Chain A
Amino acid sequence: MVKDSGETGSSAMSDSDEQRRGFFKRVLAIVIGAIVCLVPGVTSLVVFFDPLRKRGAAADFISVAPLDAVPADGLPRRFQVIADRTDAWNRFVDEPLGAVYLVRSAEKPEEVVAFNALCPHLGCFVSYQASRDGFFCPCHHSSFQTDGEIIEPSPAERPLDRLETKIETISGEEDSQAAKRRILVKFQNFRAGGTGKVPK
Chain B
Amino acid sequence: MMSTVTSLTAWLDNRTGYRRLLHEALYENIPGGARWRYVWGSTLVFAFMVQVVTGIVLWMAYSPSGHTAWESVYYIEHEMQGGSLLRGIHHFTAQAMIVLMALHLMQVVICGAYRAPREFNFWTGLILMQLVLGMSLTGYLLPWDQKAYWATSVATNIMGSGGDWIRQVAVGGSEYGHHTLSRFFAMHAGVLPGLIMLLLVLHLLFFRKHGVCAPNPEGKPDQYFWPDQVLKDAVACLAVLVVVLGLTIWKGADLGAPADAASPYDAARPEWYFLFLFQFLKFPFLEHLPGGAEFGGGVLIPMLVMALIGLMPIVGRWKLGHVFNVGLLFVLLGGAGALTGIAYNQDNMAGNTYNAENPPEKFPDDAQRQEQFANAWQASKNFLEAIDAAKREAERAEQLAKAPAGIPPTGMRSLLRNDAKTQGPVLFKAHCATCHSYRDSRGVVVRTDQQPTAPNLGNFGSRTWIAGLLDPKQVLTQKYFSSAEHLRDGDMAGWVVENVGEFEAEDLEDLNKVVMALSAEAALKSQQEMDEKDADAIAQGRELLKETIGCTDCHKFHDTGDAGLAPDLTGYGSREWLIGMISDPAHERFYGHLDADVQPMPSFAPNAQRPEENWLRAREIALIADWLRGQWYEPLQSQAAE
Binary interface encoding of chain B residues 236-247 relative to chain A, with 1 for a CB under 8 A from any of its CBs, else 0: 011001000100
Cβ-neighbour of B224 out of A2, A39, A88, A93 (below 8 A): A2
Q: Is A29 in the interface zone, CB < 8 Å from B?
A: yes
Interface string of A48-72 (1 = CB under 8 A from B): 1110010000000000000000000
Chain A contacts of B222 at CB under 8 A? 1-4
Q: Are B223 and A4 in contact (CB under 8 A)?
A: yes
**B46 and A36 within 8 A (CB):** yes
User: A2-B224, A44-B57, A50-B81 known; A89 and B234 CB under 8 Å?
Assistant: no
User: Which one, B72-80, B99-107, B416-424, is touching chain A?
Assistant: B72-80
| CA distance in complex: A42, B223 (Å) | 33
Contacting A at CB under 8 A, from B321-368, are none
Question: Contact at A40–B54, with CB atoms within 8 Å?
Answer: yes
Is residue B409 contacting chain A, with contact meaning CB distance below 8 A?
Answer: yes
- A90: which of B58, B93, B409 is its contact (CB, 8 Å)? B409
How far does the Cβ of B404 sit from chain A's closest Cβ, in whole Å?
8
* Complex interface: stretch among A20-28, A125-133, A159-167, A176-184: A20-28
In the bound assembly, the distance between CA atoms of A86 and B81 in angstroms comes to 18
Q: Determine whether B640 belongs to the interface, using a CB cutoff of 8 Å to chain A.
A: no
Complex Cα distance A32/B239, Å? 10
A86–B231 touching, CB < 8 Å: no
Of the candidates B54, B82, B237, B408, the one whose C-beta lies within 8 Å of that of A91 is B408
- Distance A47 CA – B231 CA, assembled complex (angstroms): 30
Interface assignment of A35: CB less than 8 Å from any CB of chain B: yes
Are A47 and B82 closer than 8 Å at their CB atoms? yes
* B224 neighbours in A (Cβ, 8 Å): 2, 4
Interface residues on A, range: 20 to 34
A80 in contact (CB, < 8 A): no
Residue of A nearest to B239 (CB): A36
Q: Is B199 an interface residue (CB 8 A)?
A: no
The smallest beta-carbon distance between B48 and chain A, in angstroms, is 12
A81 to chain B, nearest CB (A): 19
Tell whether, in the assembled complex, residue B223 and residue A89 are in contact, meaning their CB atoms are under 8 Å apart.
no
> Which of A35, A46, A89 counts the most B-chain CB atoms under 10 A from its CB?
A89
Contact residues in A for B191 (Cβ distance below 8 Å): none
**A residues within 8 A CB of B61?**
47, 50
Is A8 part of the contact surface with B, judged by Cβ < 8 Å? yes
A90, chain B: closest CB distance, angstroms = 6
B82–A29 CB distance below 8 A: no
The CA of A26 and the CA of B85, in the complex, are separated in Å by 30
Scan residues 294-343 of chain B and give those whose CB is less than 8 A from a CB of chain A: none
Type the 1/0 row for A105-127, where 1 means its CB is closer than 8 Å to any CB of B: 00000000000000000000000
Main secondary structure of the interface of B (DSSP, over half): helix
Docked CA distance A153–B301 (Å): 77
Given contacts A32-B238, A33-B234, A39-B241, contact A86 B406 (CB under 8 A): yes
**Which chain B residues lie closer than 8 Å to A91 at the CB level?**
405-408
For A83-113 the 0/1 string (1 means CB < 8 A from B) is 0001011111100000000000000000000
Q: Is there contact, CB below 8 Å, between B234 and A32?
A: yes
Is A43 an interface residue when CB atoms closer than 8 A count as contact?
Answer: yes
Enumerate chain A residues within 8 angstroms of B235, measured Cβ to Cβ: 32
Q: Of B33, B72, B234, B406, which is within 8 A of A29 by CB?
A: B234
Measured between beta carbons, the chain B residues less than 8 angstroms from A89 are: 68, 71-72, 74-75, 79, 401, 406-407
CB distance from A124 to the nearest CB of B (A): 27
Residue of A nearest to B83 (CB): A47
Instruction: Using known A-B contacts A5-B221, A89-B407, determine if residue A47 contacts B81 with beta carbons closer than 8 Å.
Output: yes
Residues of chain A from 136 to 166 with CB closer than 8 A to chain B in the complex: none
User: Whole-angstrom distance from the CB of A36 to the nearest CB of chain B?
Assistant: 4
Q: Please state if A90 and B407 are interface contacts (CB–CB under 8 Å).
A: yes
B228 at the interface (CB under 8 A from A): yes
**Contact at B231–A32, with CB atoms within 8 Å?**
yes
Chain B contacts for A1, CB-based, 8 A:
29, 222
Collect the chain A residues with CB atoms within 8 Å of residue B83's CB: 47, 50
- With A8-B221, A44-B54 in contact, is A35–B238 under 8 Å at CB? yes
Say how far A147's CB is from chain B's closest CB, in angstroms: 39
Q: How many angstroms between the C-alpha atoms of A45 and B54 in the bound complex? A: 9
Cα distance, A92 to B410, chains bound together (Å): 10
A47 touches B86 (CB 8 A): yes
- Report A30 CB to chain B, min CB distance, Å: 8
Instruction: A65 to B584: give the CA distance in the assembly, Å.
Output: 45
CA–CA, A29 to B402, complex, Å? 45
Select A28's contact among B231, B401, B406, beta carbons within 8 Å: B231
Residue of B50, B230, B231 most packed against chain A (CB within 10 A):
B231
B89 in contact (CB, < 8 A): yes
A109 to chain B, nearest CB (A): 39
- Whether A48 lies near B237 (C-beta < 8 A) is no
User: How far does the alpha carbon of A29 sit from the alpha carbon of B224 in the complex, in Å?
Assistant: 14
B53 and A44 within 8 A (CB): yes
Contact of B72 among A22, A33, A44, A88 (CB under 8 A): A88
> For residue A4, which residues in chain B have a CB less than 8 angstroms away from its CB?
221-224
Chain A 1-21 near chain B by CB (<8 Å), digits 1 or 0: 111110010000000000000
Minimum CB distance partner of A40 in chain B: B50
B-chain residues with CB within 8 Å of residue A8 when the two chains form the complex? 221
Q: Are A29 and B227 in contact (CB under 8 A)?
A: yes
User: B57 — which chain A residues lie within 8 A by C-beta?
Assistant: 44, 47-48
Asked, given contacts A36-B237, A47-B86, whether A90 binds B71 with beta carbons under 8 Å apart, the answer is yes
- Whole-angstrom distance between the alpha carbons of A99 and B140 in the complex? 43
* Chain A residue at minimum C-beta to C-beta distance from B406: A91
Q: Is the CB of B245 within 8 A of A39?
A: yes
B580 CB to closest chain A CB (Å) equals: 30
Complex CA distance for A51 and B240, rounded to whole angstroms: 30
Q: Mask for B55-66, Cβ within 8 A of A = 1, else 0?
A: 011101100000
Judging by beta carbons under 8 Å apart, are B82 and A43 in contact? yes
Q: Which residue of A lies closest to B51 (CB)?
A: A40
Residues of chain B within 8 A (CB-CB) of A39 are: 89, 241, 245
Write out the residue numbers on chain A whose beta carbons fall within 8 Å of the beta carbon of B409.
Answer: 90, 92
Report B-chain residues with C-beta under 8 Å of the C-beta of A41: 53
Could you tell me the distance between the alpha carbons of A32 and B227 in the complex, rounded to whole angstroms?
12
27 A-B pairs with CB atoms under 8 Å apart are: A2-B224, A3-B222, A5-B223, A22-B227, A29-B230, A29-B234, A35-B241, A36-B237, A40-B54, A43-B54, A44-B53, A46-B82, A46-B86, A47-B58, A47-B76, A47-B86, A53-B81, A88-B75, A88-B79, A89-B68, A89-B72, A89-B75, A89-B407, A90-B71, A90-B406, A91-B408, A92-B409
Known A-B contacts: A26-B226, A39-B245, A89-B406. Give 16 more (CB < 8 A): A4-B223, A8-B221, A25-B231, A35-B238, A36-B234, A41-B53, A43-B54, A43-B85, A44-B56, A47-B76, A47-B83, A49-B81, A88-B79, A89-B68, A90-B406, A91-B408
Closest 7 A/B residue pairs (Cβ): A91-B406, A46-B82, A3-B221, A32-B234, A29-B231, A89-B75, A44-B57
Residues of B within 8 A of A (CB): 29, 33, 46, 50, 53-54, 56-58, 60-61, 68, 71-72, 74-76, 79-83, 85-86, 89, 93, 221-224, 226-228, 230-231, 234-235, 237-238, 241, 245, 401, 405-409
